[in-house]
Amino acid sequence: MPTADPYLPSHGDRSWGAVHYDLDLDYDLLGARLDGVARIQIVAHEELARVSLDLAYLAVKKITIDGKPPAKWTHNKHRLVLTLKTRIKAGRTAEIMVKYSGKPRPLVIEPHGDAGWEELADGIIVAGQPHGAPTWFPCNDWCGDKATYRISVRADENYSVISNGVLTSRTRRGSGETWVYDQRQPMATYLATVQLGRYVPHPIEADVPMAVFAETGADVASAFADQGRMLSYFSEVFGPYPFDTYSTVVTPDELEIPLESQSLATFGSNYLTSEWKHVRLVAHELAHQWFGNAVTMETMQHIWLHEGFACYAEWLWSEAAVLERAESHAKHHHLRLADLPQDLLLADPGAEDMFDDRVYKRGALTLHALRVRVGDEVFFTILRTWVERFSGRSVVSADFEDLAAEVSGQDLSGLFDVWLRETVLPPFPA
């Protein structure tokens, strides 16, 4: 069975790529039932005799390829395999239609635990990272395969649906309402999401459409008061905001951690404070729109390109907001890392440690070491060039190393070797 990413066995198929997902979903909240029709425009990267998709727990009702049924198909665990009547030659396109239904639930894969479509006390949350996308639509589930999306969701009246991209229509019919979103910029499957609840918008003044969605009466002001200014600052130092809108959803339930999605972030009600430990996460999730969403790792081995960058963005915002210098945060976390096991390889942390806090902090320290080495002007030019050149694409660590050397005009191989490819923590970059 194909595996596109060694950190996520039996997920994804590198022999083909998705170009566009068109999803029509109908969700019955009371019965916890999802009925869906997915139309997937694909391109063959090599000659295809079969196509493997990821779809977990949901029953397949009908499948066509360019309007005709496949020779046969099998659906075992979370893999849906189509055997083609006619091979698809490399470079050619096709459309796969899958009609499906069932009661979606999170998919459990060790060592990552569960992810995906999950019921709240009164609504739905989709936490896609790293393997949750197949719990609600058939897909090529690996982060190196990016596509555009149209997501249509019919839900019960008095409930709001928030999804990726721009809300293009909202139609009431009978006892339900259909919400349609377009994500026009390429997106990895794990960043696709649906958030459903009794939400109302709390607009935030910013250069792009931005709002916090929470239940009536929720006090979001203290936690998200700076979000518009964060966006302006990050747009200055990272380059223009890469998407059409930005939404923040606050669920009535408490969440262990915020959830990252493209053009959208989700927080639990337990994050509604002005304390730095919560405000830093507002900056962190917003920074992911540049580092992780616009520019996305090809495989999870390179996750420091997401989490190290978003963590360093927290420290940059602290500096810009005249709270505490990035150097002070860096020193604090360098001391903490020095007391932890020295057995993590940042360039390849392994599936078990990919979300270890050491990846976040050592990744941020790697960027601080680069900043100290090349100076602020060159450092921020590197970050802006990184986003400008690779936006909409998938990357590996070597791409960033090569770009940093190109922009700075320096040989940075020694710096990246000790921070990325050695386990022992280097001295603090002073």
- The per-residue pLDDT for 219 is 87
Burial of 207 (0-12, 13-18, 19+ CB in 10 A): exposed
For the chain, the domains span 1-105+128-188, 199-289, 296-420
Q: How far is Cα 379 from Cα 293, in angstroms, rounded to an integer?
A: 21
Closest CA to 287 of 202, 148, 383: 383
Q: How many CB atoms lie within 10 A of CB 430?
A: 8
- The per-residue pLDDT for 29 is 95
Q: How far is Cα 328 from Cα 395, in angstroms, rounded to an integer?
A: 30
Report the half-sphere exposure of 46 (CA within 13 A, side-chain side). 6
Beta bridge pairs of residue 93: 43
Q: How far is Cα 126 from Cα 197, in angstroms, rounded to an integer?
A: 12
CATH class of 1-105+128-188: mainly beta
CATH superfamily of 296-420: Neutral Protease Domain 2 (1.10.390.10)
Query: What single letter denotes the amino acid at residue 288?
Result: H
Domain 199-289, CATH among 3.90.700.10, 3.40.190.170, 3.30.420.40, 1.10.390.10:
1.10.390.10
Please, which residues have CB within 8 angstroms of residue 107's CB and are 6 or more apart in sequence? 56, 57, 78, 114, 115, 116, 131, 132, 134, 135
Contact 211, 223 (CB under 8 A): no
- The per-residue pLDDT for 245 is 98
Asked if omega into 111 is within 30° of 0 (cis), the reply is: yes
Contact 133, 139 (CB under 8 A): yes
The residue written with tokens 């210098």 in the block is 325
Contact 362, 308 (CB under 8 A): yes
Q: What is the mean pLDDT of each run of 10 residues along the chain (430 residues)?
A: 93 98 97 98 98 98 97 96 97 98 96 95 96 98 98 95 98 93 98 97 94 91 94 98 98 95 97 95 98 98 98 98 97 98 97 97 98 98 98 98 98 98 96
Is 296-420 the same fold as 199-289?
yes
Angle between helix axes 413-420 and 357-374 (nearest 10 degrees) is: 160
